[in-house]
């Protein structure tokens, strides 16, 4: 049973108070109003994530932080009269009703108005009146108001709302273009015709539609508006591709020695993080391998830490460091997505690493291969799915959809709607957790019998401590699960560095969404998600080098749904206005952009404003690419450098049976 009161308290502490909301009236109101009552059935578990969620009529309920920010900016006090434009679900009106004497809220869509009325009545909030109508006209019958809050973005402040504000009253409204140009402003009426304006910063809201706002024709969805803005930005950024062309360093063939040498500029870093824009692109794997070989051979790096499960990578590590295989260990990378690490590109690097380590006499000088990820994350997911397939096929179907779409770069809240849990999961939860605990304990037996290292035993002990909590939040899916996972990966990296001593140096292979600084992306700005890159930046400063990768088009190995078969899919050409399109328009087929301050400052300045960036994981759905795989980021703040391949190809998966002549210790054998 979900403890919503605990979740509300956590939301207030982490998402509100920690981010600067200090008004005690607002904090207490947010703590007592049940947001789960204002979201559609099946989405209650997401109610206290700091993210918007879909409601009826294609609209959304705003994220809690924005609700609190606007109410605090309106300085609502007990005994006051408040007008809200855009009732939506009724949640913000409910919060204000716990502070103000009377709240009037206007909703132009009849279905939403009726639903809000019902919810507020069910909760006994009888000091709220829901009015169906054009909010841009205000509600003169109850004017003047001590505060007016507008929950949609208009091109300007509607005159009727100015007129209905009492002297001394405050009006909070997003104003400006709908794509990256809205500013949240507070107008304080200081005289009959005089207003003081305060700018609270950049926001994104749905359009304010009405007589004194945008027309119905202009009332596009948030993502459509964002797309239009990217096109407008592309039309006015003709100089950016030229700046990219001027700053670009041509990349030689990946197999040439000169390729790795180009990255010697980052060898003073203690951690070099190498990304990928997809989990199934050959060029990304081969480029990371070439850079890593150079860092190992010439610059003393002895840790290769990858976005992979610890036990699977441990089998590879034993192979590359010439250690005996565990007789009871499972074979490496046999679970979905097998192609992510079981591919020819990774095999080639592993064989090189084994050969190189064989020539190193001092074991301390050998380079190891380690997994950063949660203990058997993918095995755990498969266990959940297998169990649900037996007891509730519909819940299993929904779970597959959820695992495929709950990714940190997705900003379209309607994706949650497709992944709402069926009621059948609730009775299964404890059984699923029990199965997962059994799975974990089975693997711990291997570690207990292993005498090689305290490192492995300590890592497994850490996983036991957090296993049940992680598996629970992993299934439900939220910012909490993402943050728990990336903190775990970062802490594993710290343990590896400590194990190697003060001179230990690591290369990290992970997706761009893990290694780029999340604080410069929608992940961090909108959803309070962090990642390894951000944590490394905070911990190591400039001693962490964050290198992203991108492509315009080609092929990729990916699935259509979680636990689905690998497919070789066509990658669509990049979207107008995106970083990928700008690089393509630069006309250099393979390039390296050094994005650090002092390198190409004119280009860096032009690229700072957030733009669309493409993210493809193990799931790729080109038919919904804009919603499923694009998110906004500030490239120069996200990465120190960017590696670009205009056209790229899918990785080549390895077979899952032993090939003749392979040694018994070979980690990919059957």
Please give the positions annotated as active site: 62
CA distance 69 to 90: 17
CA distance 193 to 190: 8
How many Cβ atoms are within 10 Å of 251's Cβ, its own excluded? 20
Asked if residue 144 has a cis previous peptide bond (ω within 30° of 0), the answer is yes
CA distance 40 to 3: 18
CA distance 355 to 349: 10
CA distance 116 to 37: 10
CA distance 15 to 335: 36
Terminal-residue alpha carbon distance, the chain: 42
What is the DSSP secondary-structure string of 124-145? T-TTEEEEES-GGG--GGG--E
CA distance 13 to 105: 28
Which of 424, 429, 419 is closest to 398 using CA atoms?
419
8 Å CB contact between 557 and 336 = no
Q: Which two tokens stand for residue 224?
A: 């459509």
Helix, strand, coil shares, percent, the chain, to 5: 45, 20, 35
CA distance 150 to 207: 11
CA distance 314 to 100: 59
CA distance 420 to 166: 44
CA distance 21 to 218: 33
CA distance 110 to 191: 36
Residue keyed to tokens 């990785």: 651
8 Å CB contact between 63 and 526 = yes
For residue 578, the 8-state DSSP code is S
CA distance 178 to 176: 6
274: part of which helix (H) or strand (E)?
A: strand 271-274
Which of 638, 626, 609, 522 is closest to 573 using CA atoms?
626
Residue 351 C-beta-side C-alpha neighbours within 13 Å: 10
8 Å CB contact between 522 and 411 = yes
CA distance 52 to 40: 12
CA distance 476 to 399: 9
Beta strands in 310-401 (DSSP E): 368-373
8 Å CB contact between 415 and 405 = yes
What residues form DSSP beta bridges with 408?
Answer: none
CA distance 421 to 401: 10
Q: Which two tokens stand for residue 269?
A: 């870093």
């Amino acid at each position: 049973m979900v403890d919503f009161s605990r979740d509300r308290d956590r939301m207030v502490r982490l998402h509100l108070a920690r981010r600067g909301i200090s008004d005690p009236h607002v904090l207490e109101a947010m703590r007592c109003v049940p947001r789960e009552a204002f979201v559609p059935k099946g989405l209650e578990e997401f109610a206290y994530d700091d993210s918007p969620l879909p409601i009826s009529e294609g609209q959304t309920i705003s994220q809690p932080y924005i609700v609190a920010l606007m109410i605090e900016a309106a300085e609502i006090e007990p005994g006051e009269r408040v007008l809200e434009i855009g009732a939506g679900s009724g949640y913000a009106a409910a919060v204000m009703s716990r502070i103000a004497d009377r709240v009037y809220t206007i909703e132009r869509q009849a279905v939403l108005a009726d639903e809000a009325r019902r919810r507020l009545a069910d909760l006994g909030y009888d000091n709220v009146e829901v009015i169906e109508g054009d909010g841009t006209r205000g509600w003169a019958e109850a004017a003047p108001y001590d505060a007016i809050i507008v929950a949609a973005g208009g091109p300007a402040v509607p005159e009727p709302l100015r007129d209905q504000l009492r002297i001394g009253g405050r009006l909070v409204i997003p104003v400006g273009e709908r794509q990256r140009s809205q500013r949240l402003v507070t107008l304080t009426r200081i005289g009959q015709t005089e207003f003081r304006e305060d700018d609270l910063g950049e926001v994104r809201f749905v359009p304010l539609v009405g007589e004194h706002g945008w027309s119905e024709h202009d009332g596009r969805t948030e993502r459509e508006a964002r797309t239009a803005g990217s096109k407008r930005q592309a039309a006015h950024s003709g100089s950016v591709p030229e700046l990219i062309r001027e700053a670009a360093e041509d990349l030689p063939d990946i197999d040439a020695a000169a390729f790795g040498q180009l990255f010697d500029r980052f060898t003073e870093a203690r951690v070099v993080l190498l990304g990928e824009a997809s989990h199934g692109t050959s060029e990304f794997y081969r480029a990371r391998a070439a850079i890593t070989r150079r860092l190992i051979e010439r610059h003393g790096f002895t840790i290769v830490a990858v976005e992979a499960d610890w036990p699977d990578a441990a089998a590879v590590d034993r192979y590359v460091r010439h250690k005996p295989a565990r007789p009871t260990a499972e074979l490496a990378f046999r679970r979905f997505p097998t192609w992510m690490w079981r591919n020819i590109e990774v095999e080639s690097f592993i064989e090189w690493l084994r050969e190189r380590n064989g020539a190193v006499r001092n074991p301390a000088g050998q380079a190891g291969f380690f997994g950063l990820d949660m203990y058997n994350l993918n095995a755990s997911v498969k266990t959940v799915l297998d169990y649900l397939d037996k007891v509730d096929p519909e819940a299993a179907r929904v779970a597959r959809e959820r695992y495929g779409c709950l990714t940190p770069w997705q900003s379209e809240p309607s994706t949650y709607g497709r992944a709402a849990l069926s009621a059948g999961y609730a009775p299964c939860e404890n059984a699923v957790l029990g199965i997962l605990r059994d799975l974990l304990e089975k693997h711990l037996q291997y570690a207990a019998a292993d005498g090689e290292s305290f490192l492995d035993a300590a890592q497994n002990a850490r996983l036991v401590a957090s296993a049940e909590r992680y598996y629970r939040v992993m299934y439900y899916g939220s910012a909490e699960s993402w943050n728990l996972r990336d903190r775990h990966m970062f802490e594993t990296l710290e343990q590896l560095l400590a194990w190697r001593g003060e001179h230990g140096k690591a290369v990290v292979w992970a997706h761009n969404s893990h290694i780029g600084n999340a604080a410069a992306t929608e992940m961090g700005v909108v959803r309070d998600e962090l990642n390894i890159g951000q944590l490394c930046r905070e911990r190591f400063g400039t001693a962490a080098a964050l290198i992203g990768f991108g492509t315009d088009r080609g092929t990729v190995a990916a699935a259509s749904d979680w636990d689905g078969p690998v497919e070789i899919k066509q990658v669509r050409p990049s979207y107008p206005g995106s970083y990928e399109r700008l690089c393509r328009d630069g006309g250099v087929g393979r390039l390296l952009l050094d994005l650090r301050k002092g390198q190409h400052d004119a280009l860096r300045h032009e690229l700072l404003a957030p733009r669309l960036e493409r993210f493809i994981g193990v799931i790729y759905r080109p038919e919904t690419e804009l919603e499923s795989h694009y998110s906004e980021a500030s490239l120069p703040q996200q990465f120190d450098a960017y590696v670009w391949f205009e056209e790229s190809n899918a990785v080549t998966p390895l077979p899952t049976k032993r090939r003749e002549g392979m040694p018994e210790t070979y980690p990919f054998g059957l």
